Every structure is written in C-alpha cells, then in structure tokens.
Structure 1
Amino acid sequence: MKFRVERDVLAEAVTWTARTLPTRPPAPVLAGVRIEADASGTIVLASFDYEVSARSEIAAEVAEPGTVLVSGRLLAEISRALPNKPVDVSVEGNKVVLTCGASRFTLLTMPVEEYPTLPTLPELTGTVSGDALTHAVAQVSVAASRDDTLPLLTGVRVEIEGERITLLATDRYRLALRELTWTPATPGYSTVALVRARTLNDVAKSLGSGGGLVNIGLSTGEGLDLIGFEAGGRQTTSQLVDGDYPAVRRLFPDATPIHAVVPTQALIDAAKRVSLVAERNTPIRLAFSEGQVVLDAGQGDDAQASEALEAVLVGEDIQVAFNPQFLLDGLGALGTDFVRLSFTHPNKPVEFTGQGSLDGEDSSEYRYLLVPIRFSS
C-alpha cells in the first residue's frame, strides 16, 4: 500500500474515525483504525468496537492499493502533529511509514485479518437538517443518565411518526422532550428506537455541524438492531439499546394552575452566583411572588447567598428547590429569551418551556421537566 494525501485531510479523517475507539478494547485489534487504499484514489478509514462503527472516505493519490491496520489513537496524534505538507504513507514489511517533509514516523501494523467485519449502513429511512439534529440532541441528552448500571436510561428514545421525530431522555430526576421535523423516505413511516445518548450526541455534533443534511437509516427486527448516520463522506452505525423504555410522557402535567416567566439569561446568571455557596447535593431555593423571584442557598452557620429577579407570576405564591446543576442544564438547553416555569404543587415536577417575550406564548417544541427537592420551610 502506498498513497499521498494532504496533512489536514488525513488528520481530520483519522481524528474523526478514531474518536470512539475504546480505551480498554475487548480485543487488541479493536484499538486500531483500518486503512484501505483503493486504486480509484479513495482512502477509507474505519473503526469498530462491536457496538459503534465509523467510516470516513477521503481522496488521495494512490500508487499501490492495499489494506492495513494500525493503532488509531497513535495515528491520530501523529497526523495532527505533522508539518503542513503532503503526507506519504507506505507499508514496509510489518510497518507503516509516514513521511511528511523532514518528519518520518514508523508504526507497527496489527493483524488486519483478525479485524471484525463492519456492519452495513442500514437502508435510508429519512433525512434531517444537520443543524436541527445537533441542536435537538444537545437539548435532550442533558437529561440522559450517566449511570451505566441503568443502561436503558443512558439512551435517548427516538419516536418517529411520519414527518415528526420526538426525542425523549430521563435520568429519573429530570425529563427532556424535543420535537423536530424531518423528511422520511417512506410517507407515514412509524417506528421507535432507543439510541445511546453518548453516541447520539457525538454523531449529531460531528455530522450535523456542517449545516447540510444527515441521512438516517434504521434496521429493526432483523436480528441486529442498528441505527446509521451518513453525511459528507462519513458514516456511523450504532447498535440500539435493547429493552422497554419507561412510559415517561405521562409525567408531563395536563394542566398547571401556576406559572412564572423569567428572563432566561438573568436566571442562569443568578443561579450560578447563588449556587456558589450550595454545598454538594444541597439545593438552590426559588421563591416566586408577585413581580419577583428570590433565589437563595445555604443556611445556618454556613455561607449563604440570595438574589432577587423580576418575574411575572400567574397564580399563587410558590416556593421550590432544585439541584443547581439540573436547573442550569435545563435553562441552558432552552435557547430562548424567556423561560416559563409551570407548577402544579411545590413537591411536584416543574415544567420548563421557552418563550420569545415576557407576555408571549410558550413553545412546546422543547419541554424540560425537573423534580424539585423537598425542603423544610
């Protein structure tokens, strides 16, 4: 195998392909990136850990086609460190040689014949705006659990009904829901899938940030349940999470007799300041009354802080307490000038929605439900 490629093109492709490589691979070859040079002038880089696969295609001057497997992380570090000149890659015996200007690196190859076959990208199910996907996944994934002992809750539930996709995630303490539109390949298409939040977030950032369209393929009920994403010459597949996701939609209240509207950024800034005195696992309290909300944290002989903000309150005065980080996660995900907090009871989950003006209507496109912390008054 022998080819020449631009340094930036190689570095970007290797870094993207190697980003999901496991730190402790179940088999040594899974720490590698497979490089396949085709006589047509195409280089295909691939990685796979039995759950998530990645493929990236780049153009190069191929003198000799071939396939080789090398350490992915090391190749990524080397390619990023090379001078800004064309890179010549060749195989000499059981080694891969990278030459770039006056720099020369030699890497040992790994047994490519032991590398598993990558899963095939599922048939196209539909397309979605990359920007919309990136934004929606970021909003929802904040609520997904990081606890791997509860694998179901580390996923994002993807519900597809015709031209609408609904994303749902929960860690039992908060729940996020986001709706967006897409173009299904088959009109009236309907399905449900559970995708690892970490994988979905990574894919949305890396494939959706280009601003173009992202192709999505789903394969369910055929032995290996997969979701695949493709954009700009890059492909990722991931096994779906198996199991029945809890019926979380019913947690959203049908009616909320009390609601308050507060400028989002002002509430974020105040919450950050007040939470400085909140020790680990202690709440930040919000007391809503006519015309204002007072935030406070700390008590007794400990450090204390409080701050008042203007707010519009509809209904009775109410006090709630939240985990500061969970509160900030929800506020930060809204992306609107104002936030509406809708209440049913001080100890019942509070729904956060965004709105464009102080006296406008809220949007149900993104909904964040947060369980308050009980506190003694």
Structure 2
Amino acid sequence: MKIQVNRDVLADAVAWAARVLPGRPALPVLAGLLLDAADDLRISAFDYDVSARADIEAEVAEPGRVLIPGRLLAEITRSLPARPVEIVTSGAEAVLTCGSAEFGLLTMPDEDFPSMPAMPPSIGVVGGGVFATAVGQVAAAASRDDSLPMLTGVRVDIEGVRVTMAATDRYRIAARELLWHPERQDERRGVVVPARVLVEVARALRGGEVSIGIGDTVAGFESQGRTTTVRLMDEQFIDYSSRLTQQWPTYAELAVAPLVEAVKRVALVAERHTPVRLAFSQGQVLIQAGGGDIGRGAEVVEADLEGEELQIAFQPHFLLDGLAGVETERVRIHLDSPTRPALISNEGDDPDFRYMVMSLRLS
C-alpha cells in the first residue's frame, strides 16, 4: 500500500474512528484501525458491538490494506505538522512520513480482523443538528449502571414522520419528540440503542443529514462519509409515554436562565446527596439549600404560578439536567405534591421535550 492524504483530514478521521476502540479488547487485533486503500481510503474500527467507518479522499499509488495500533496512530496523526502525509507498507512496518517526521509502525495481522457488519438499509433521514440536540436532551437521564442494561439505553420509537427518544435511570425520565423524513410514511419501529454509543454518534454527526438504518439486530447511522453501526439492546422498556402525559394540578412558568444560575449558586452549599428546596408562591419561587455544617443559601426568582402554593425538593444535578434540555426561553414546571415527581418541559401546551424527575423528602 502507498497513499498520500491531507494531514488534517487524516487526523480527524482517525480520531473519529478511534473513539470506538475498546479499552480492554477481547482480541489484540480489535485495538487496531484497519486502513483500506482502493479508490480512496477507508479507516475502520470494530469491537463486535460497535463499528465505525470513515471514508476520506486520498491519492492511492498502490492499493492495499494494513492494520495499525489505533490509539498510537491517533496520537501520531494529531501531532503531525501541517504537511501531506504519506503511508507506505514495507514488510511488517507501515512507514508514515510527514515533512521531516517519519514513523515506522509495526503492523498487526489484518487477516485476523473480523468482518464488519454492513450498514442496515436506510429507513429515513434527519437533520444532524436536530438529531444531536435530541440525543443530548434524553441521554442525560440514562443510567451509567450496567446491572440493569435496559436503563443504559435510549428507546427510539418511530411512527411515520414522528420519532420519540426516551431514557430513564428510575429516578427521572427524559423524552424528546422530533420530525424526520422516513422512507415510508407508515414506518413503525421501536428499538433500544446503547446511550453511550448514541451520544458519540450524535457528537460526530452534527453536520448535514443523518441516515438511519435499522436491521434485526443492528442499527446504523451514516453522514458525510462516516458510518457507525451498533448492536441493538433488548427492546423491553418502560411505558414512558403514559407517565409523561398524566395530569398535574399545578404548574409554574419562569425564565430558564435565571433559574439555572440561581440553582447553581444555591447548590454550592448543598452537601453531597442533599437537595435544593423550591418553594413556589404567587409571583416567585424561593430556592434554598444547606443549613448543615457548610452553611446555607437562598435566592428568589420570578415565577408565574397556576394552582396551589407548594414546596418541593430535588437533587441539584437532576434538576439542572432537566433544565439543560429546555430549548424555549421559559420553562414550565408541572407539580402535584411535595412527595410526587415533577415534570419539566418546554413552554407551551404541547411540548416536544419532557423530563420527569423524582422529588426528595423535605426535611
């Protein structure tokens, strides 16, 4: 193999593919990036659950393929000068030259690299920015605890032109509805995708449109020459829709930015695992925390209240995660009682983002 490629393009593609490399690979070859040169250059990574492929332009003098330790290649390409990069295979080495810098990297047996799954047939496309925003809004509510795998995923429900994403860790539920362009107007699917993978996909595929494919066991995401596939999780999931659409007798509307800043300030005196307390009354909400060994804090924010006055308490970071998902200038907080969950949503009667969070016992 002998190729020449733009340094910035190569470094970006290598870094993108290397993000799926396993920390503790089941096989040594899974720590490698496969470079396959034909008409252009394809860079691939695979760990049996997640695959990544990036296609980039390259001048291919001699076609071929080579398997190179991925993390090392990512470190090297990121540090190279802004000059064209030449990669030539020579025996058991891949010689990488850029300006006056030269690296001879020992290759791995590419014949041992497993066959990668194909991208499933596309069932529709969605704008990359919309997709990334929706994933960010719901993935914060996914669990990081692998003891109950269902909670580490994002449920994706497709009904025609409408897509709903949802995640929960038992203490909160986040859901976001969005519109997309399905291949078929009567498309109906429901799958669960690992949240950590979906976050990485969304972060990398913000530009242009994202094509989504769903097979029997694999989902695929493709945009601008980059493709990620991921093994689907068990589709079992909670009935989140009924919980998010129940009725709350009271709600408050207030500006998001002042509320977020006030919660952050007051939470500075909240000891670990202690709540911030919100007392809603006509025209305002009083935010309080502390009172223990550290000290106490309080701040008042203007609020419009519809219903009875009420006090309620939350874990500060759970509350802030919900507020971070609100895209409108004002937030609506639906309330029932101090011991019942509250619902945070975009302003309006039919919000596309909903976030239900458990309350904590008032002390």
Q: Write out aligned runs for 1:291-370 (5 A).
A: 291-355=283-347, 361-370=348-357
CA drift of 1:250 comes to: 2.3
Q: What is the DSSP-based 3-state SS (H/G/I as helix, E as strand, rest coil) of the residue aligned with 1:364?
A: coil
CA drift of 1:88 comes to: 0.8
Q: Which moves more between the two structures, 276-285 or 252-261? A: 252-261
State the aligned residue count: 363
Q: In the alignment, what sits opposite 1:216?
A: 212
Q: In the alignment, what sits opposite 1:358?
A: none
Contact kept, 8 Å, 1:11 with 1:76, in 2: the verdict is: yes
* Distance across 1 between alignment mates of 2:178 and 2:273: 34
CA drift of 1:229 comes to: 0.7
- One-letter amino acid of the structure 2 residue matched with residue 213 of structure 1: E
CA drift of 1:243 comes to: 4.6
* Distance across 1 between alignment mates of 2:326 and 2:183: 30
Q: What is the DSSP-based 3-state SS (H/G/I as helix, E as strand, rest coil) of the residue aligned with 1:143?
A: coil
Q: What is the DSSP-based 3-state SS (H/G/I as helix, E as strand, rest coil) of the residue aligned with 2:9?
A: helix
Contact kept, 8 Å, 2:191 with 2:235, in 1: the verdict is: no
* Distance across 2 between alignment mates of 1:288 and 1:187: 44
Q: What is the DSSP-based 3-state SS (H/G/I as helix, E as strand, rest coil) of the residue aligned with 1:85?
A: coil
CA drift of 1:139 comes to: 0.6
Q: What is the DSSP-based 3-state SS (H/G/I as helix, E as strand, rest coil) of the residue aligned with 1:117?
A: coil
- Aligned partner of 1:91 among 85, 89, 92: 89
Q: In the alignment, what sits opposite 1:106?
A: 104
* Distance across 1 between alignment mates of 2:24 and 2:362: 43
Q: Which moves more between the two structures, 169-178 or 245-254? A: 245-254
CA drift of 1:252 comes to: 2.1
Q: In the alignment, what sits opposite 2:137?
A: 139
Q: What is the DSSP-based 3-state SS (H/G/I as helix, E as strand, rest coil) of the residue aligned with 1:96?
A: strand
Contact kept, 8 Å, 1:340 with 1:362, in 2: the verdict is: no
Does residue 273 in structure 1 map to residue 269 in structure 2? no
Cα displacement string for residues 39-73 of structure 1 (whole angstroms, at most 9, x for unaligned residues): x2x10110000000000111111111111101111
Contact kept, 8 Å, 2:210 with 2:221, in 1: the verdict is: yes
CA drift of 1:256 comes to: 1.4
Q: 1:61/1:253 Cα in 2 relative to 1: closer, same or farther (>3 Å)?
A: closer
CA drift of 1:253 comes to: 4.8
* Distance across 2 between alignment mates of 1:134 and 1:177: 14
CA drift of 1:300 comes to: 4.5
Q: What is the DSSP-based 3-state SS (H/G/I as helix, E as strand, rest coil) of the residue aligned with 1:156?
A: strand
Contact kept, 8 Å, 1:34 with 1:68, in 2: the verdict is: yes
Contact kept, 8 Å, 1:353 with 1:362, in 2: the verdict is: no
Contact kept, 8 Å, 1:352 with 1:369, in 2: the verdict is: yes
* Distance across 2 between alignment mates of 1:5 and 1:309: 56
Q: Percent identity?
A: 49
Contact kept, 8 Å, 1:353 with 1:363, in 2: the verdict is: no
Contact kept, 8 Å, 1:214 with 1:229, in 2: the verdict is: yes
**Structure 2 unaligned runs (5+)?**
none
* Distance across 2 between alignment mates of 1:10 and 1:259: 52
The TM-score, its normalising length taken from structure 1, stands at: 0.94
* Distance across 1 between alignment mates of 2:245 and 2:342: 9
Cα displacement string for residues 180-203 of structure 1 (whole angstroms, at most 9, x for unaligned residues): 011111220101000011111111
CA drift of 1:346 comes to: 1.5
Cα displacement string for residues 169-219 of structure 1 (whole angstroms, at most 9, x for unaligned residues): 001011011000111112201010000111111111101x21x11111000
CA drift of 1:152 comes to: 0.6
* Distance across 1 between alignment mates of 2:46 and 2:167: 26
* Distance across 1 between alignment mates of 2:174 and 2:130: 16
Q: In the alignment, what sits opposite 2:16?
A: 16
Contact kept, 8 Å, 2:221 with 2:229, in 1: the verdict is: yes
* Distance across 2 between alignment mates of 1:98 and 1:300: 60
Does residue 290 in structure 1 map to residue 282 in structure 2? yes
Q: In the alignment, what sits opposite 1:371?
A: 358
* Distance across 1 between alignment mates of 2:292 and 2:148: 37
Contact kept, 8 Å, 2:271 with 2:294, in 1: the verdict is: no
CA drift of 1:122 comes to: 0.2
* Distance across 2 between alignment mates of 1:299 and 1:57: 57
* Distance across 2 between alignment mates of 1:23 and 1:254: 43
- One-letter amino acid of the structure 2 residue matched with residue 265 of structure 1: A
Does residue 49 in structure 1 map to residue 47 in structure 2? yes
Contact kept, 8 Å, 2:190 with 2:235, in 1: the verdict is: no
